[in-house]
Amino acid sequence: MIRIRSLQPPNAEQLSTLLRIASGRAMADLFFEKVLIADVYTGEVRRTNVAIWGPFIGYVGPSKDMVGRDTEVIPMGDSEWVLTPGWIEPHAHPFVGYNAVRFFEKIASLGTTTVIADTLFFVQATQKPETFPELLEKFTSLPINIGWGIRLGSQSLGFQEEEIFSPERILQALRLPDVVQIAEITNWPRLLNDDPKYVHSISAAREAGLRVDGHNAGLSLEKLQAAAAVGETACHEAIRSQEVLERLRAGLWVMLRQSSLRKDLPALLEDLPETALASGRFMLTTDGAAPYYLQDGFINQALRVAVSSGLQPMTALRMATLWPATYYHLDDMVGGIAPGKYADLVLIDNLTNFNPQIVWYHGKKIAEDKQALFPSYDLDWDRFGLGRISCSESPIDAEWMVPICTNPSFPVVDLVGTVITRASDEVLPCDGAGHVQLPDDSTDYVALLDRQHRWVVNGVLQGMFKDIEALATSATIAMHLLAIGRSPHRMADALQRVQQMGGGIVVIAEGRLQWEIPLPVGGICSEESVDNLVYIFTNFQRWIQQKGYRFDDILYTLEFLTFDTLPSVKWTPLGLWDAKGKTLIYPARLLST
């Protein structure tokens, strides 16, 4: 079943015309003469002719009988440029600083003509859940095929779970046009504990022919088998080649990740046997890459890394075309260059660099030299309840930023990876008012503040910065306000400014405002173009690294400090949560405002 509306099979009239095109009895609109094509079906790179009529490929072969007076002919002659199928991103999060419209426009101009995208932000951030179907409809105006995934739950403990992710809402969403899967199941403990909502939702999805995306980071072999048994069909969380094999042995498809958050691809390919690659159950993904990743490309960057890591170019290309198309039941329409398929095509310099020279979507040229040839699309985010965030107008008290001494020891959280923490109980000094004091220059206060100032979750974090007085952001998985810093007063000031902006990132250091990045789309996304955001966030990342940040992706660190299933201790609306021990180790503090 084809569920993406932009990829419907040709109707009877179109089939009749395609038949005449292929037999030379009707004229093509566009004709590539003697072009090198990457044939993902046979593994060949061969020179041939390709005829396009309307949105479809009508012919691939030596004939020129379908060339007429009005046919646009592109003579390739001895050019070594290669025509490939449009690339497919099987696992996107289109709200990492950029908003979904600007993201889709950018990746289309870079050769990705089909994308399967997450809807978590739309569901969690909207103030108008009833507009969700209309919102997805708006994206059909863009020159890219978009399939959507539906989440079964949030990623931060205590986030209005039963209301926003009720079984009824999930089942309604799974029936919407363009929905092709249940998006990654991050809360795998609930799934493996036989949670009825999860099991019934997966049953409904599988019955409708949808896929079920797993998020099985660190799962043992036995638990991985259980995840496959209960209906998961793919996973993108392998970080070693042995984990790739375990997923294949469980019957899962494997997405190989090369992202801003994790650059796993070289290690995944290092010891992967040819027998495993022959399975054809692999896909490449950038897994929600931050803007600074896109300065070097998108799927083409993953292709380039795969080939430089020793993968055969045609195998790498299949991972970005035919195989994800097959996984999502779209291979009758996209994923290869053949008659009857949609004319979603990328002309590249070679099968090593994968630099896109020209991109066609449904037979129309949409990009050249990585620049879009179509007008930018504006979406009224306010209409869908995804505009500037609404916060309490009451002032923010600096006292809220500091933990209260309630026990002799206090959990100190250590940032040991981009999104990984560990914690230890330490005896910290307290002042006369009963507030925890920072022990040294390597530690910061952390406060997760409810947007309406009803509660705060305090903590102490080490290993983040050296000398930042305050960083505040609204871009968190918990959808609340986060402040980190050494000065409670500056933290309160930075949070106040984030609220005034309607969402964003604010940094105060050396006694003055250093950074102010507005994120007016739901407090998570910018309205800027991706190219502008590449510049902004690349410079922000470099600056923050000079201030002691030791990792590769500051945006994900800030967002995932509130992600409740990644190890180990995270800030959630209910309090400091130990994801491994499944315990609340320091509860939220109720505020009287």
The 10s digit of each residue's pLDDT in 131-155 is: 999 999 999 999 999 999 999 999 9
Q: Can you give the pLDDT at residue 162?
A: 82
> What pLDDT is stored for residue 226 in this prediction?
97
> What's the pLDDT tens digit per position in 515-535?
999 999 999 999 999 999 999
Residues 412-430, mean pLDDT to the nearest whole number: 93
Kind and range of the H or E run holding 368: strand 364-368
Q: Which two tokens stand for residue 157?
A: 């403990």
Q: Return the bridge partners of 117, or none.
A: 92, 148
| Nearest-angstrom CA–CA distance, 292 and 329 | 32
Supply the pLDDT for residue 163.
Answer: 86
Structure tokens at 176: 């919407």
Dihedral sign for Cα atoms in the order 261, 263, 267, 273: positive
Mean pLDDT of 45-71: 98
Instruction: Look at residue 576 in the predicted model and tell me its pLDDT.
Output: 96
Q: With 70 as the cut, is the pLDDT of residue 1 above it?
A: no
Supply the pLDDT for residue 581: 87
Residues 126, 213: Cα–Cα separation, whole Å: 23
* For residue 2, pLDDT beyond 70: no
Q: Is 462 exposed, middle or buried (0-12, 13-18, 19+ CB in 10 A)?
A: buried
Report helix, strand or coil for 452: coil
Q: DSSP assignment of 559-586, as one string? A: HHTT-TTSSSEEEETTEEEETTTTEEEE
Give the contacts of 273 (CB within 8 A, at least 6 positions apart): none
- Taking the C-alpha atoms of residue 17 and residue 242, their distance in angstroms, rounded to an integer, is 50
Q: Are 42 and 336 in contact (CB under 8 A)?
A: no
Residue among 567, 542, 545, 541 at smallest CA distance from 555: 541
Helix, strand, coil percent values for the chain (each to nearest 5): 30, 30, 40
Task: Report pLDDT for 409.
Answer: 86
Is the confidence at residue 506, as pLDDT, over 80?
A: yes
Is 584 or 408 the better-scoring residue by pLDDT? Answer: 584
The string of pLDDT tens digits covering residues 227-246 is: 999 999 999 999 999 999 99
Q: How confident is the model at residue 593 (pLDDT cuts 50, 70, 90)?
A: low
- Gap between the Cα atoms of 491 and 455, Å rounded: 16
Computed over every residue of the chain, the mean pLDDT equals 96
- Contact between 188 and 224 under an 8 Å Cβ cutoff? The reply is no
Q: Please identify which residue in the block is written with the tokens 């107008």.
A: 393
pTM over 0.75: yes
* Residues β-bridged to residue 73: 31
Distance separating alpha carbons of residues 484 and 62, to the nearest angstrom: 64
More confident position, 566 or 315: 315
> Do 88 and 334 touch, CB atoms closer than 8 A?
yes
- pLDDT of residue 406 exceeding 90, the answer is no
What confidence category does residue 160 fall into, taking pLDDT thresholds of 50, 70 and 90?
confident
Give the amino acid at 22.
A
Classify strands 145-150 and 455-462 as parallel, antiparallel or unpaired.
Answer: unpaired
Question: Can you name the residues that pair with 51 across neighbouring β-strands?
Answer: 31, 59
Stated as kind and residue range, the H or E segment containing 306 is helix 299-308
Gap between the Cα atoms of 87 and 496, Å rounded: 43
Amino acid at 291: P
Which pLDDT does position 19 carry in this prediction? 98
3-state secondary structure of 428: coil
